Amino acid sequence: AGDQAGTDQDGQTADLSAYEEKEITVKKMESIDRSGNTWLYIVDSDDHIYCAKYADVIDMILVSKGDKITILTDGTNFRYPAS
């Protein structure tokens, strides 16, 4: 996980040391354009929303609704894969 810092939703460099692994079941995924960047929002089975710049989580293209995945998250922002 160390080399995929990327950007958080506030445009700051993400501090992955504050992120923890969490297993979630994907309920919904939505991509949204924000200032010329594509962001991916995922909703888990508990209706919690996580977001990431799509370029930082490109492997999410292989994930489908209903999949159980492990993400790194600070509670709002996420990275995938977790390792």
- Give this prediction's pTM: 0.84
Q: What is the pLDDT along the chain (83 residues), one digit of tens a residue?
A: 444 567 777 777 878 888 999 999 999 999 999 999 999 999 999 999 999 999 999 999 999 999 999 999 999 999 999 87
Residue-wise DSSP of 18-71: G-EEEEEEEEEEEEEEETTEEEEEEEETT--EEEEEGGGGGGGGG--TT-EEEE
